[in-house]
Amino acid sequence: MSGSIRWLGHATFVVTSARNKIIYIDPFIRDNPLCPITVDNINQANIVLVTHDHFDHMANAVDIVKKTGATLVAQPETSGRFIAELGLHEENVVNFGQGMNIGATTVIDGITITMTQAFHSSQTASNAGFIIKLEDGFTIYHAGDTGIFATMKILGELYPIDLALLPIGSVWTMDPVQAAKALTLLNPKKAIPMHYKTFTVLEQSADRFVALAKKEAPGVEIVVLEPGQEIAL
């Protein structure tokens, strides 16, 4: 087993690497109606990734960093707000408190993290995605909140993706039609749908995405998780 990934609902995932490094992505724990854990349940984290500064993606990022001493990876303006308004210490932010921006790559605890573009809004800075290459080479793409964009094809070419985490809920992100088409650009081995059924306004099921994906990208294995479910990488 090279590691594991667990979906905590919405866009929140926790990745455990083969060397037991723990990564939280877009931690929306408290007030997330689908999340099966509380912040009190979190005792270890090495890296916290925040794609953008909306409550349903960063709500508990600073809580986790303060509790565990993890390194926060976010854009400079977002990191700056967390420092100024939420009491985050600069030493817990990547690049000596500076954060990082789209196109940049950093290595933390043997894990290579590249920030990619995404198309969405944010309270500070802009939205982003992440390419996460674990110590054993397993590569995860978390798209963040985004619509489809043609450069996904280049991302797939630059960073061969083992697992793509794609929003499908519509309203604020790609709908199932765009998400299924995105698979043809990214060409991942597997994909997990996210950012749906959290709120009633969103797509309530992954069924339409699964059906469309079978037509658009039959070679991609679609893994539909329930909140709290964990699978091996």
Q: What is the mean pLDDT of residues 142-162?
A: 98
The helix/strand/coil state of 111 is strand
pLDDT band at 48 (very low <50, low <70, confident <90, very high): very high
Q: How many domains does the chain have?
A: 1
Instruction: Kindly give the pairing relationship between strand 22-25 and strand 47-49.
Output: parallel
Q: What is the mean pLDDT of residues 224-231?
A: 97
Give the pLDDT of residue 10. Answer: 98
CATH of the domain at 165: 3.60.15.10
pLDDT value at 51 more than 70: yes
Give the pLDDT of residue 4. Answer: 98
Give the pLDDT of residue 2. Answer: 75
pLDDT value at 94 more than 80: yes
Q: What is the residue-averaged pLDDT of the chain?
A: 97
Give the pLDDT of residue 135. Answer: 96
Write the single-letter amino acid at 124: T
pLDDT value at 115 more than 70: yes
153 bridge partner residues:
none
pLDDT tens readout for residues 153-197? 999 999 999 999 999 999 999 999 999 999 999 999 999 999 999
Residue-range definition of the domain harbouring residue 177: 4-232
The sheet carrying 128-133 orders its strands as 105-108, 111-117, 128-133, 139-142, 163-167, 190-194, 221-222
Give the pLDDT of residue 206. Answer: 98
pLDDT band at 226 (very low <50, low <70, confident <90, very high): very high
- Are the CB atoms for 190 and 200 separated by under 8 Å? no
pLDDT value at 1 more than 90: no
pLDDT tens readout for residues 54-90? 999 999 999 999 999 999 999 999 999 999 999 999 9
Write the single-letter amino acid at 198: T
pTM above 0.95, yes or no: yes
pLDDT tens readout for residues 19-28? 999 999 999 9
The helix/strand/coil state of 62 is helix
Instruction: Kindly give the pairing relationship between strand 139-142 and strand 128-133.
Output: antiparallel
Percent residues over pLDDT 90 in the chain? 98
Among 146, 173, 166, which Cα is nearest to 217's?
166
